A and B are shown apart, each in its own frame.
Chain A
Amino acid sequence: MKLTLKIWRQKDAKSKGGFETYTVEASTHMSFLEMLDVLNESLIREKKEPVAFEHDCREGICGACSLVINGQPHGPWAKTTTCQLHMRQYKDGDTIVVEPYRAVAFPVLKDLVVDRSSFERIIQAGGFISVNTGQPQDANSIPIDLDTASKAFDAASCIGCGACVAACPNSSAMLFTSAKVAHLNMLPQGKVEAQQRVLNMVKQMDLEGFGRCSNITACEAECPKGISIENIARMNREYWAASLGSEKIA
């Protein structure tokens, strides 16, 4: 099938970007990224610069791939990353608009590649349990209720791709931040520093320039791992409880 692609091209972070139009011949069995590979291969043959996009595992778990495809982060399939989106979705003659994530906290580095290091700093602010190597007791000495373990797992399955920020009309990072807060704070191991964690991580999230959550739920709708906004509610209550009900400050 023949497709028309409108792709955002931008030389580097400082340059101004714009859309360019390409046509590509694709097969329905390809993944979306394989279709871009085909485009790039043909651009290289013409001695033109290929389109830069991030990708790695191509099985939906590393979180490297991004892209806003026809207005949706990771494209139209629910709970699917761009790398797992297949061209079965499209038909001959379709036009596909491909853009990078848009958020000041995710500046464009080149073409479709954005800098997501703001997420790194949010994790560094408190997204861990302070335990040194070699300290722990036997793993089974901490029984954990099945539902709690499975909820913690669901929150922890975040792949850090940033689709939540890209989808949010406010460019808020609440789903990402809350998923980590919820994962750690609901486990007994993480409770020890739960209050400090939520205070520090929210502080860092604000510093990075993300927008404010207004519960639009676009993040939940577009999250390739289906992470729930229940985590946001949890972070909200833990934050005000820690701010008002403890002596801790961020």
Chain B
Amino acid sequence: MKLDGKVPPGPLPEKWTKYRSSMPLVSPSNKMRLEIIVVGSGLAGAAAAASLGELGYSVKCFTFHDSPRRAHSIAAQGGINAAKNYFNDGDSVGRLFYDTIKGGDYRSREANVYRLAEVSNNIIDQAVAQGVPFAREYGGMLENRSFGGVQVSRTFYAKGQTGQQLLLGAYQALSRQIAKGTVKMYNRHEMLDIVTIEGKTRGIITRNLVTGEIERHAAHAVLLCTGGYGNVFYLSTNAMNCNVSAAWRAVRRGALMANPCFTQIHPTCIPQSGDYQSKLTLMSESLRNDGRVWVPGKKEDAKAIQEGRKTALDIPEGDRDYFLERRYPAFGNLVPRDVASRAAKVACDEGLGVSPTGLAVFLDFSDAFERYGRSTANIKGIHNPDAATILQLGQKVIEDKYGNLFEMYEKITGENPYKLPMKIYPAVHYTMGGVWVDYNLETNIPGLFVLGEANFSDHGANRLGASALMQGLADGYFVIPYTIGNFLSKDIKTPKISTDAPEFVKTAEEVQARLNMLMNIKGNQSAESFHRRLGKLMWEYCGMGRTAEGLAKGRPLVRALREEFYRDLYVPGTMNEFNPELEKAYRVADFLELGELLMIDAQNRNESCGGHFREEFQNDKGDAVRNDEEYAYVAAWEWMDTSKDPILHKEELTFEYAELKTRSYE
């Protein structure tokens, strides 16, 4: 199979504009007759469904939640990037493009990234018009802050709840279309398969999660906006119900899974506290604007802290190792996520960790308290303020900026972060890999589109902070409404697709058979317990540092676990009712296949880049070493059945504008 990215010709900065104005259109009267299914209603899904509804298409939107507002986009904390250059600090579309390509370690498609940077500004305009209450300055203008991997301030934010506010904006736009009748919303419906007729995706099979009913839904095109697969690691910052099933079902039907080993480990999460733990909680990257990361310089101090004999406050300034500032002076605490995560791992591996498990580093705000305290005292005209006043004023500034994060930290850990520095550790957060799509966001199956985190396209091997919201909304608001016309303009003569077509009947039967099979294993172990075990395998053999040897060991273990799953799974309850355990079961079944593919992909990629760190490929400083000669390609995998190895298809990445350089943040 030859993979065609369908990147339009012309100079990079003009590609999208030219392409957009030369794309085939669909007339308003035809739009009404054309049906589109949108699966998922997070940022990408809600934005797409709303925008397509506004255009006049007949849209059906599905979510397994009880409301689109629950999608995990809601949990994004820090912000959204845009090249507005409101701060006159030298930002531009070109620079955002370059930062994103470089941050992604040169493993993404140039044209996609440039387009993303180009539409970033429209997103901010759109969101503000929808009433998204972004942070502002006294003059009423929008405020910005800095994020990792960049040297300008281009991140727009709404306290630590930017994802929530943007999702609610998209959700409200979607609600407006639902009220108008252009979008029909199916809440508590989970997609279990896609239906392909004559090589084109023409519908989906869903399960009504309340009644258990298997339903068939037809359309001219299907959009998957179903998020990432970080939960393959079980413990991640993803929501409990995030899963790969929709995307994986498409892969099982012939779509390609691209770069699955590109998983992002976020440096600032609350460390795990016990085996019962169900998820990890992220502390926004924005905290690294003001917090300084350190560990004790001496092992005996670290040991004393681990054993509870000392606290951070007992370590004198001279005995602290601010290792990010030391190793990466140019970017300091604001290095990209993969770099910061690995540096924390290195420190902990050396025995310098600061939690009872030895797996945590400090994120310290005392300098920020001091700095902000002094400047506030100045503004307030307090001369010669005492230390207590400075601390109090400084803490107030930090509270205004990150109050909700500090509160969240205290609730979870029971420790007051205003008194003691936070303890943080890296955790799985985002997946750059995903279903392979071309420039139109269309998969290799015509009529099947994938948007947002579920596709692989824009972030390469590592995503920069505040770019996930940008990509989800760009895909939904500003890309798919145009590019879907390419496909649908050829389909205007196709009548309404019937759900009685034999392909629908057959696929529905297959779905039903699969559920029957899972119900009838009647073994002894819960789906959740398999999921936990899978997560442990993935983290151990395919986590922050990977080796060929470990991956070779891990893959058969995943396969063995999968066999055990099909032998010993127990699903309580029945199929025809609200049954969360059955939902878990079919989602875990898909993770058990994806997990294997992830290891295969990681083993195939003999280089370190971005979130994929192969320990064999590092320099003497412990930084990643890429291999552009052999691996400047997208690894798109065709999944056969479980008895055969998946087939690798390569999309070569060519870089005309960005010069391939070793990433340096020093």
Binding site for B on A (CB under 8 A): 11-12, 27, 29-31, 33-34, 37-38, 41, 43-45, 47-50, 52, 54-64, 77, 79-80, 84, 86, 88, 109-110, 113, 115-117, 119-120, 123-125, 127-140, 142-146, 149-150, 152-153, 156-157, 159-160, 183-184, 187, 189-190
Binding site for A on B (CB under 8 A): 47, 50-51, 54, 65-67, 69-72, 74-75, 84, 86, 122, 124-131, 133-142, 158-159, 161, 163-165, 168, 171-173, 175-176, 178-179, 185, 187, 210, 237, 239-241, 273-274, 276-279, 281-282, 407-408, 411-412, 414, 477-478, 481, 524, 526, 528-529, 570, 572-573, 577-578, 580-581
List A contacts of B129 (CB < 8 A).
129, 131, 135-137, 139, 189
User: Is B136 within 8 A of A30, CB to CB?
Assistant: no
User: Is A57 within 8 A of B72, CB to CB?
Assistant: yes
List B contacts of A149 (CB < 8 A).
133-136, 140
List A contacts of B47 (CB < 8 A).
133
List A contacts of B126 (CB < 8 A).
131, 133-134, 136
Give the shortest distance, in Å, between B588 (CB) and chain A (any CB).
13
Give the shortest distance, in Å, between A42 (CB) and chain B (any CB).
10
User: Is A156 within 8 A of B75, CB to CB?
Assistant: no
List A contacts of B131 (CB < 8 A).
129, 152, 156, 183-184, 187, 189-190
List A contacts of B578 (CB < 8 A).
12, 52, 109-110, 113
Cα A48 to Cα B281 in complex, Å, equals 31
Give the shortest distance, in Å, between A153 (CB) and chain B (any CB).
4
- The 30 sampled A-B contact pairs (Cβ below 8 Å) are A34-B276, A52-B578, A56-B239, A56-B240, A57-B70, A57-B74, A58-B281, A60-B408, A61-B164, A62-B239, A115-B66, A120-B185, A125-B179, A128-B176, A129-B131, A134-B478, A137-B125, A139-B125, A139-B127, A139-B128, A140-B86, A146-B136, A149-B134, A149-B135, A152-B133, A156-B133, A156-B165, A160-B69, A183-B133, A189-B131
Cα A27 to Cα B135 in complex, Å, equals 39
Cα A149 to Cα B278 in complex, Å, equals 36
Cα A77 to Cα B412 in complex, Å, equals 12
User: Is A12 within 8 A of B411, CB to CB?
Assistant: no
List A contacts of B237 (CB < 8 A).
59
List A contacts of B241 (CB < 8 A).
56
Give the shortest distance, in Å, between A28 (CB) and chain B (any CB).
9
Name which residue of chain A comes closest to B577, CB basis. A12
List A contacts of B135 (CB < 8 A).
149
List B contacts of A131 (CB < 8 A).
126, 129-130, 173
List A contacts of B478 (CB < 8 A).
133-134
Q: Tell me if A's interface is mostly helix, strand, loop or mixed.
A: loop
Name which residue of chain A comes closest to B532, CB basis. A41
User: Is A34 within 8 A of B408, CB to CB?
Assistant: no
User: Is B572 within 8 A of A86, CB to CB?
Assistant: no
Q: Select the residue from A29, A77, A184 with max chain B CB neighbours within 10 A.
A: A29
User: Is A86 within 8 A of B412, CB to CB?
Assistant: yes
Given contacts A47-B572, A128-B175, A156-B133, contact A117 B67 (CB under 8 A): yes
User: Is A153 within 8 A of B165, CB to CB?
Assistant: yes
User: Is A127 within 8 A of B70, CB to CB?
Assistant: no
Give the shortest distance, in Å, between B45 (CB) and chain A (any CB).
14
Q: Select the residue from B127, B281, B529 with max chain A CB neighbours within 10 A.
A: B281
Given A124-B179, A187-B133, 4 extra CB contacts under 8 A: A38-B276, A55-B240, A58-B278, A109-B210
Cα A232 to Cα B414 in complex, Å, equals 34
List B contacts of A64 (CB < 8 A).
65-66, 70
List B contacts of A138 (CB < 8 A).
125
User: Is B278 within 8 A of A33, CB to CB?
Assistant: yes
Name which residue of chain B comes closest to A153, CB basis. B133
Cα A41 to Cα B276 in complex, Å, equals 11
**Sorted from nearest, which 7 A-B pairs have the closest CB atoms?**
A143-B140, A136-B129, A128-B172, A153-B133, A139-B128, A133-B51, A124-B179
User: Is B173 within 8 A of A133, CB to CB?
Assistant: yes
Cα A141 to Cα B48 in complex, Å, equals 26
List A contacts of B276 (CB < 8 A).
27, 30, 34, 37-38
User: Is A156 within 8 A of B168, CB to CB?
Assistant: yes
List B contacts of A61 (CB < 8 A).
74-75, 161, 163-164
Cα A106 to Cα B359 in complex, Å, equals 43
List A contacts of B178 (CB < 8 A).
124
User: Is B173 within 8 A of A128, CB to CB?
Assistant: yes
Q: Select the residue from B71, B164, B185 with max chain A CB neighbours within 10 A.
A: B164
Give the shortest distance, in Å, between A185 (CB) and chain B (any CB).
10
Cα A131 to Cα B173 in complex, Å, equals 8
Q: Select the residue from A88, A134, A138 with max chain B CB neighbours within 10 A.
A: A134
Name which residue of chain A comes closest to B241, CB basis. A56
Given contacts A44-B570, A59-B408, A152-B131, contact A120 B175 (CB under 8 A): yes
